[in-house]
Amino acid sequence: MHLEILVEEPSSEAALHNLIPRIVGAASSFAIYPFQGKSDLLSALPARLRAYARWLPPDWRIAVLIDADSADCLAQKNRLEEMAREAGLQTRSGVAQGEPFQVLNRLAVEELEAWFFGDLEALRSAYPRVSSSLGNRAPYRDCDAIRGGTWEALERELQKVGYHRGGLAKIQAAREISAHMEPARNVSRSFQTFRRGLLDLISTETESPAPGRA
């Protein structure tokens, strides 16, 4: 199985390069395509999906990952789903459980950095001076509900203990933290939804779309 993964920025690419093999295993190949922010990805996505629909091999799948940020999650998910449907591609939400599909649309809630808070052991392996009790503090007990922006929270906590004093280098941090992450232990609900979706995505065979289908 081969995965084509579309993400909104290079920090997501850096993290997923480490995480995807640990989720789907070494037997699946993958390529990750970062965009210059969410608006760039969303503007390019309809044409990209139509192009995939014309030639997608039966053992290829597509995953789209964006940050939820502070916008309505359901509205954003529905927008992604509609783009895939208009391109003639089956999504996870559009089929019954166990049936094959070609496109997985997922949101990181509220931002990718919430997933790093979801694996405190990995965070501390990358940055050992971070407190082992960080996850017990009220703002971080639910990593998907951190207020005021998760990348800002990550920057703040790392700077408190002497890291990234000149400002959070998001790509570097994503690469360093994800290098230690274990998908099964992550307590972020949105991460586990993404993980389960990927496993479903690669678990079934489907036929190629008809030539010229758009």
Task: Kindly report the average pLDDT of the chain as a whole number.
Answer: 92
pLDDT tens, residue by residue, 46-63: 999 999 999 999 999 999
Q: Which residue has the tokens 């997923």?
A: 16
3-state helix, strand and coil shares in percent for the chain, rounded to the nearest 5: 50, 15, 35
> Where are the alpha helices (H) located in the chain, listed in sequence order?
10-24, 38-55, 73-87, 113-117, 120-126, 150-160, 170-178, 189-201
Judge residue 44's burial from the number of C-beta atoms within 10 Å of its C-beta, 0-12 exposed, 13-18 middle, 19 or more buried: middle
Give the separation between CA 27 and CA 59, rounded to whole angstroms: 12
Range 145-158 average pLDDT: 93
Position of tokens 């960080």?
134
* pLDDT tens sequence across 169-213: 999 999 999 999 999 999 999 999 999 999 999 987 654 444 443
Question: Has this prediction a pTM greater than 0.75?
Answer: yes
Pick the CATH number of 2-110+189-201 from 3.40.1000, 3.30.420, 1.10.3470, 3.40.50: 3.40.50
At residue 148, the 3 state secondary structure works out as: coil
